[in-house]
Amino acid sequence: MSSDTPDIPDQPVCSAKGCRAAAAWVLAWNNPKLHTPERRKTWLACDEHRDHLSQFLDLRGFLKDVVPLTDWQAAESPEGEARAS
């Protein structure tokens, strides 16, 4: 098995078309024509596709934030929510 292929079935993978590499980044975005300003949709990116996917979203004015996956997961966890309040 390639090192780019997730060993764990539930491990998040890159959102780039055809890529099955483990995700390392969360690209938070929204389309202002469709979503409220506070709404965040997400794409996941591996190191190789982070810049490409970020540029795609940024060109359209959709990109809001790029965050390491581990930081995003920590902020989304119940413990992270408790620390944030």
Domain positions in the chain are 25-84
Whether 1 shows a pLDDT value over 50: the answer reads no
Question: By the 8 A CB rule, do 51 and 24 touch?
Answer: no
pLDDT tens by residue, 15-68: 999 999 999 999 999 999 999 999 999 999 999 999 999 999 999 999 999 999
Helix ranges, 1-85 (H): 50-59, 69-76, 78-84
Residue 76 binned pLDDT confidence (cut-offs 50, 70, 90): confident
